[in-house]
Amino acid sequence: NFRQGGFVNGGLHPWPKAKRLSSGGTDAASNYGTLLSGRKHLFKSVGYTPADYRVRVFNEVVYAPIHNWGGEIDVTVTDRMRRFAWAKFYKASGKRKKADTGQKKRVKRHTKPKELNPQAQFWRNMALTKKKRLHIRIPQRQFMGESEELNSRIREKMDQEITNILNS
């Protein structure tokens, strides 16, 4: 599912594309597929526990359910998030931080302010937002659940193992 970019059940049902993929960024995150990252944390966290007559498949990452079923979440905007947004703004815009307290500011007169690229504008708006909470809608990107293809592959494997046991 992760490598194919969608849930396979009666054919591939592709996930909605992540906004970072269409942002035109040149960083590594802009090149990873939807629900994937450099560390593949969500992908590697899928586990299973066998038991009598069944197998439990699970993913204990806190954000796994919201991605699997979709939904809306509210996130508190913290000072740390604002500092991160400023750092991303300076990186995206190519600007330098302002002079520290006590230093003279060197200002050129009669210069027009530069137009910001959309990514830098986004990060500046995020850092300057007056909101205390952000309401975020995450679309459903199912990666776990019942699947016709998976059930048929399990049946084939079981039949193969049973015939191996009976033939030996």
* 110: in domain: no
Domain count, the chain: 1
Which domain does 13 fall in, by range?
Answer: 1-52+140-168
103 phi/psi in degrees, rounded to 5: -95, 150
* 166: in domain: yes
* 108: in domain: no
* 67: in domain: no
pLDDT reported for residue 32: 61
Secondary structure percentages of the chain, helix, strand, coil, to 5: 35, 20, 45
pLDDT reported for residue 130: 94
CB 45 within 8 A of CB 55: no
**For residues 44, 80, 68 and 39, what is the CA-based torsion angle, rounded to 10 degrees?**
-20
What angle separates helix 79-93 from helix 118-128, to the nearest 10 degrees?
160
pLDDT reported for residue 101: 66
In this prediction, the residues of the chain whose per-residue pLDDT falls under 50 are: none
Single pTM value for the model: 0.62
CA 129 – CA 24 distance, rounded (Å)? 24
